[in-house]
Structure 1
Amino acid sequence: MSEARLVFRITVRGRVQGVGFRAFVAREARRLALAGWARNCDDGAVEIVAAGPRGALDALVETARRGPPLARVDDLRQEETSEAALVERRGDVEF
């Protein structure tokens, strides 16, 4: 039996725009075989929606909490969301 597919919405605040954050997260998401997207928000945050097994999603959250070298993560919030979030297509970086 395969592990259930979950969908997480992750919002990251801090110095997360202009530092390669979305590309960093997308590379890790692809490595973890997750589906989803990431985008910059008008308020300076980065929003990530990712779908896959819990273990891979947890690993992505830890990667996002760390961020790339030039980033500074001040706050990270995650919540489970619905499959509908995947098709919002609001992301400017898809994985």
Structure 2
Amino acid sequence: MQGGQRAVRARVSGMVQGVSYRVWTRDEAARLGVKGWVRNERDGSVTVLVAGADAAVTAMIERLWQGPRGALVSKVEVEEAADDAPMDFRILA
């Protein structure tokens, strides 16, 4: 990505489905001005792609550990990703 920009893919594990984690993630992404997507996985985890300014992406990773009320995050695995994010932040089916 261009200077000062970063993209990451994160796998969030714990009690993160059935607690509005995807909606919360979309709202947090809007607050931080990052783009990307979030989706539930069959194993009960949530995958998130976040792209944007390095500081905003770092802040989003930190927030993924919190989640909405009712979530219990046990692990956030992060890897660098290509910038294949949409122009906004979406909840994928």
- Determine what percentage of the aligned residue pairs are the same residue: 34
Alignment-mate amino acid for residue 30 of structure 1? A
Shift of 1:4: 2.2
User: What number of residue pairs does the alignment pair up?
Assistant: 89
Unaligned runs of 5+ in 2: none
- Mapped to 2, the partners of 1:26 and 1:69 lie a distance apart of 15
Shift of 1:55: 0.7
Unaligned runs of 5+ in 1: none
Equivalent position of 1:60 in the other structure: 60
Equivalent position of 1:22 in the other structure: 22
Q: Which has the higher helix share?
A: 1
- Mapped to 1, the partners of 2:79 and 2:61 lie a distance apart of 11
Q: Show structure 1 runs of 4+ deviating over 2 A.
A: none
Instruction: Please list, as runs of the form range in 1=range in 2, the aligned pairs for 1:13-52 lying within 5 A after superposition.
Output: 13-52=13-52
- Mapped to 1, the partners of 2:10 and 2:18 lie a distance apart of 18
Instruction: Tell me the TM-score normalised to structure 1 length.
Output: 0.85
Instruction: Tell me the TM-score normalised to structure 2 length.
Output: 0.86
- Mapped to 1, the partners of 2:90 and 2:40 lie a distance apart of 8
